[in-house]
Amino acid sequence: MDKKVRVRFAPSPTGGLHLGGVRTVLYNYLFAKQHNGTFVLRIEDTDQTRFVEGAEEYIQECLTWCGLVPDESPLHGGPYAPYRQSERKDMYRQYAEQLVKQGNAYYAFDTPQELEEMRVKFKTEENPSPQYGHTIREKMRNSLSLGQAEVGRLLGEGLPYVIRIKMPENETLTFTDMIRGEVSFNSSLTDDKVLLKADGMPTYHLAVVVDDYLMKITHAFRGEEWLPSAPVHILLWKYLGWINEMPQWAHLPLILKPDGHGKLSKRDGDRLGFPVFAMNWKDPKNAELTTGFRELGFLPEAFINLLAVLGWNDGTEQELFTIEELIERFSLDHVHKGGAKFSYDKAKWFNHEWIKRYKAEGLRQKVKEVFTGNGLELKEDENLDKVIELVKDRCTLLTDFWQQGSFFFVAPATIDVASIKPKWNDDKAMFFDILAEKLTVLEDWTAEAIETLFKETAAEKNIKMGELQLPFRIMLVGGKFGPAVIDIAALIGKEETIKRIRTGLKLLS
């Protein structure tokens, strides 16, 4: 590649960040890192009516959590600042005016009411939703249909107007997509999109082209839903005289609902009970909270990993990748053209694998946060690491550490006596009574010593070990789960073990 690679993620800050958006970030990021390029975050906030308080900060936080930190952004600055389109407002008008002068765009004075009337008037059976385009534009109020003097008068009067692109008739517009290969459009099928709005703000179409040009973007990755906009963009690049600088496009496949029917939406997540947003999003308008992957207990590495393989593979069966491996192996040749079905079970599998891969030390802080969130402040880190090592293979989500690990630090709030009772008898009660006595004088508090004592006592009482392990476990843990029970006793210590046996015995008597 001769030019220095520059890619961008260009979200409109209007709400929670969908996992498809994060995948777009990821592919941008991988491509940039692979080519020693630059990853830009540009905030596309020109639609003031869609402004949502906090949405931009939320996006920045998501990228930080995922470890996909941009090189240039509103937060980090950079040579092409500002990176927020609303702050670049004054840059766009000149290009729209240039297009009007060249005859590639025009002023349109139609009021919202006139536009509505047009839709009714030109509606036919073959054309149920008529567009403002080559068949209709001459019948509307714009600088193509009105005389020059009238246009001058309207402009002089300060009448609100927009600038629209004049889409040519029946031209074939072609570009080579990095994933789909050659893609063609007939220009007649696209309406005369607004480029500059009455409030002087550019629309997405004008702003994206101008900024990709001014910011020297070389490759643009975006969702497949933007493909229909490509003909307008190609024409803008051409009319503005920049066609040789146009970035190479890659339209990424959609992420589909689990059944494969249609694009995965936030509503699907709500309906089927899984997250779709990267992090918790609280809608400032109605305070509605949507839970994100982060808060549900996903590790960022797992989240990134599962997104990477939603629509891409490295040509082998490998599914688990570190970010370094992804940077090394990512290639557009292996990005699928078709949509990728999302599976929450698979997503959880990735998280489980990543939790297993981690050393206790790496999980320590996150597990502490889970405990704190449940009202338990830990002081002794040393024991926490041991607990993490003992239970991490049983955790799918970080939040599972509470259920799987909290009994090491606090006695269980409830004890499942119902599971012990059916096979409970006086011999067993006596066994635990004697065991508690013997444990009191045990000096060497290790798993081995506890086990020996346990076995000896069982043999003395002539009770099978298998009969005793479950009650012991339930007394210590509260239920039928957790790692080896002797390891639990060793870790929670003498005093606590004896206390829990005594409590169990009381509940069973």
Active site residues: 266
Distance of alpha carbon 496 from alpha carbon 494, whole angstroms: 6
Which of 241-267 are b and which e, b meaning 16 or more Cβ less than 10 Å from the residue's Cβ? ebeeebbebbbbbbbbbeeeeeebeee
Q: Are 502 and 436 in contact (CB under 8 A)?
A: yes
Distance of closest approach, residue 150 Cβ to ligand GLU, in angstroms: 36
Distance of closest approach, residue 24 Cβ to ligand GLU, in angstroms: 7
Distance of closest approach, residue 445 Cβ to ligand GLU, in angstroms: 60
Place of tokens 């890659």: 250
Q: Which residues bind ligand GLU (CB under 6 A)?
A: 10-12, 44, 204, 208, 222, 226
Considering beta carbons, is residue 22 or 391 the nearer one to ligand GLU?
Answer: 22
Residue of 312, 100, 120 whose CA lies nearest to 192? 100
| Residue 193: its H or E element | none
Q: Are 346 and 306 in contact (CB under 8 A)?
A: yes
Distance of closest approach, residue 354 Cβ to ligand GLU, in angstroms: 28
Considering beta carbons, is residue 207 or 347 the nearer one to ligand GLU?
Answer: 207
Q: Kindly report whether the peptide bond that precedes residue 82 is cis, defined as omega within 30 degrees of 0.
A: yes
Alpha-carbon distances of 107 from 75, 102, 310, 370, rounded to whole Å: 36, 13, 44, 58
DSSP 296-327: HT--HHHHHHHHHTSSB--SSS-----HHHHH
Distance of closest approach, residue 11 Cβ to ligand GLU, in angstroms: 5
> Closest CB to ligand GLU belongs to which residue?
222
Considering beta carbons, is residue 205 or 428 the nearer one to ligand GLU?
Answer: 205
Q: Are 119 and 110 in contact (CB under 8 A)?
A: no
Locate all alpha helices (DSSP H) within 286-411, ordered by sequence.
Answer: 293-296, 300-308, 323-329, 344-357, 360-373, 381-391, 400-405
CA angle at 114 for the pair 110 and 116, rounded to the nearest 5°: 125
Q: Are 252 and 179 in contact (CB under 8 A)?
A: yes
Considering beta carbons, is residue 43 or 340 the nearer one to ligand GLU?
Answer: 43
Distance of closest approach, residue 416 Cβ to ligand GLU, in angstroms: 50
